C-alpha cells in the first residue's frame, strides 16, 4: 500500500459509504498500520460511545 496515493484513493472511493478502513503492509513502513475514517458517521460514533442517537448524547 503506497501512502502517497493508494490510501487517499481508497478513502475517497469509499467516502460515500463511510466505512472505517484499516491498512497494513504500508510501503516503506512495514511495521505501521493506518486507520482511516473512524469518525465518518455521527451514528457510528454515538453508538460506539453507548448512545442510541446524537440527540441523546447532546442532552447529557
Query: Comparing C-alpha atoms, which of 18, 43, 19, 20 is closest to residue 52?
Result: 43
Whose cell is 503506497? That residue is: 2
Contact 7/36 with Cβ under 8 angstroms?
A: yes
Q: What pTM did the predictor assign?
A: 0.56
Please report which confidence band the pLDDT of residue 3 belongs to, taking 50, 70 and 90 as the band edges: confident
Does the pLDDT value for residue 29 go beyond 80? yes
Does the pLDDT value for residue 40 go beyond 80? no
**Domain limits of the chain?**
6-59
Phi, psi of 25 (to 5 degrees): 60, 50
Amino acid at each position: 500500500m503506497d501512502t502517497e496515493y493508494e490510501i487517499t484513493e481508497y478513502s475517497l472511493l469509499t467516502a460515500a459509504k463511510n466505512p472505517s478502513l484499516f491498512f497494513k503492509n504500508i510501503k516503506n513502513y512495514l511495521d505501521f498500520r493506518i486507520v482511516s475514517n473512524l469518525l465518518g458517521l455521527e451514528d457510528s460514533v454515538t453508538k460506539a460511545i453507548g448512545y442510541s442517537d446524537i440527540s441523546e448524547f447532546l442532552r447529557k
